Amino acid sequence: MARVVSLFLPRWPTDRLRRGAGSAVPPVDRPLVLAGRVGSRRMVTALDAAAAGLGLAPGMVLAKAQAMVPGLTIAEADPRGDAEALERLAVWALRFSPVVAADPPDGLVIDATGATHLHGGETVMLAEMVRRFAAAGIEARAAIAATRGLAHAAARFSERPTVRLADEVTEAALRRLPIAALRLDRTVVEGLAGLGFERVGDVLDRPRAPLVLRFGPDLGRRIDQALGLAADPIEPARPPDLVETRRVFAEPIGAAETIARHMRALAATLVDALEARDLGVRRLDLFLTRVDNTLQTIRVGLARPSRDGARLARLLCDRIETIDPGFGIEVMRLAATATERLAARQRVSSLIEGTAPDVSDLVDRLADRIGESRVYRFAPVASDVPERSVARVSALAPDDGATWPGDWPRPSRLLACPEPIETLALLPDHPPAWFSWRGVRRRVARADGPERVFGEWWLREAERATVRDYFRVEDDGGERWWIFRAGDGEDLETGSQRWFLHGIFA
């Protein structure tokens, strides 16, 4: 099932100006409008949130806007610059999916089919997109749906920052949308409004032929595209220095063995091009154009830059099962969409020194199957608080030699959040005689502790007096647990005196 993401940037021209104009950036504490000439009049073409809150709107005569808001900051509109910056933004967004395109004048469109699992799922991916744009000073709303038309409408006509629509395209979802959600020319929308058409459902309930005769074929085409009945292709953005190779077949191919053979040939050709530029690939995209003009993509990522043709081909061939060739594939294009400098180096000689084990191939295959965010390792962090003393890093991140202190043993499994338990213990320094966790009561046979952990007062003032007393306990079944009491057992200012389970020993 196809999944398409639409990213809407409601303040794109003004957000771009504030981010990228250097010394010309207007003061952020004053409302900003962009002005352009429409005929002989100067009009407001775009504005920021502060100006919108003062009652200004696009299409307003500039002189009227200046009269309403004295001291208004005015900048010249630059539609060409906005479009070029939007194209660059589309190239940046290729990290989310192989197929990304600008959606002028204020958005991006992303074919996320088969790519959402690499980012933790659809909900997580949308939230990450919005977060990254917000960090760059750009307001964004994102929606994902089964068709480009529905995603485009949901992103622009919903107040929520992220919207996730069902996999199935339903006419009921389309009926509720306003006519303007169909990506029609403004004159068509105004003409339909003049006839009393407000919602898409109003158009669906009328014969199509008279409307098409009056307003042209775009009305019916946009409805069919939103319902998934007509093609709505996305032409992906391409970086200017893209390293790629392609094959066009005289006869369409469809057999898995044939596809694999051409994958290996494309990988070998791409490696030669990368070697000529002293580059290694970190992200590889394969584009498959079928005879029905539909586009399928395969993306593989690498933990380290590489130009090993056999390795690249193996990663691509592992994904053949996800390809639906339909009536045949006409064009195959392989592109290195993320590269890094990779100079040639001397191979290690087994007569002089040992060869270090290389697990990067295994990491790449796991990441491509279950998602890069799920393949990681733990690294120590300088903190006495157990849940703060560990961090997730890339599976192949360099080892800086840091480790955890070995004075006190730590459990092999640390719970993400300590869970409350019921206990019976003699305060202030004795371990519990028993504890109950998740409805199961366990008698404590042996215990060691307490190990006192103090709060990090330099991070939070509330932790200045807090302490935890940790115990390692073993129940009568031989299982070992890591539990603690919040507080010193006497003073309530040091903690609630409640007991928690924080870890399980192997």
Please enumerate in sequence order all residues whose Cβ is within 8 A of that of 333, keeping only pairs 6 or more positions apart, or say none: 244, 245, 246, 247, 286, 287, 289
Rounded Cα distance between 413 and 503, Å, is 6
Q: What is the pLDDT of residue 354?
A: 55
Sort 368 into a burial class: Cβ within 10 Å, 0-12 / 13-18 / 19+.
Answer: buried
Confidence of residue 20 (pLDDT cuts 50, 70, 90): low
For 423, how many CA atoms within 13 A lie in the half-sphere containing its CB?
A: 23
**Among 113-122, 152-161, 198-207, 431-440, which stretch is predicted with the lowest mean pLDDT?**
113-122
pLDDT band at 23 (very low <50, low <70, confident <90, very high): very low
Residue 393 has pLDDT above 70, yes or no: yes
**Most confident stretch, 120-124, 172-176, 233-237, 329-333:** 329-333
Q: How do strand 162-164 and strand 243-253 relate by DSSP bridges?
A: unpaired
Q: What is the DSSP letter of 84?
A: H
Its pTM surpasses 0.75: no
The dihedral of CA 415, 421, 425, 427: what is its sign? positive
Read off the pLDDT of residues 330-363 as tens digits, 9 standing for 90 and up.
999 999 988 988 876 666 555 555 556 677 777 7
Which of 155-169, 275-289, 432-446 has the least mean pLDDT?
155-169
DSSP state, 431?
A: P
Residue 348 is predicted with a pLDDT of 57
Query: Quick one: pLDDT at residue 375?
Result: 80
SS3 345: coil
State the average pLDDT over residues 296-323. 89
* pLDDT score recorded for residue 265: 94
Asked which of 82-96, 231-245, 353-367 is least confident by mean pLDDT, the reply is 353-367
Which of 215, 336, 220, 354 has the alpha carbon at shortest distance from 284? 336
- The H-assigned helical ranges of 233-343 are 256-276, 309-317
Task: Determine which of 380-389, 394-403, 454-463 has the lowest per-residue pLDDT on average.
Answer: 394-403
Eight-state DSSP code of residue 231: -
- pLDDT value at 390 more than 90: no
pLDDT number for residue 263 = 94
pLDDT at residue number 370: 72
Distance between CA 469 and CA 291 in Å, rounded?
A: 68
Asked if 282 and 360 count as a contact pair (C-beta separation under 8 A), the reply is no
Instruction: List the one residue out of 164, 206, 211, 209 whose CA is nearest residue 184.
Output: 211
- Indicate the burial class of 424 (C-beta count within 10 angstroms; 0-12, 13-18, 19 or more): exposed
Whether 209 shows a pLDDT value over 80: the answer reads yes
First to last CA, the chain: 42
* pLDDT band at residue 121 using 50, 70 and 90 as cut-offs: confident
Q: What is the pLDDT of residue 22?
A: 43
Query: For residue range 141-153, what is the model confidence (pLDDT) as tens digits?
Result: 999 998 999 999 9
- What pLDDT sits at residue 24? 47
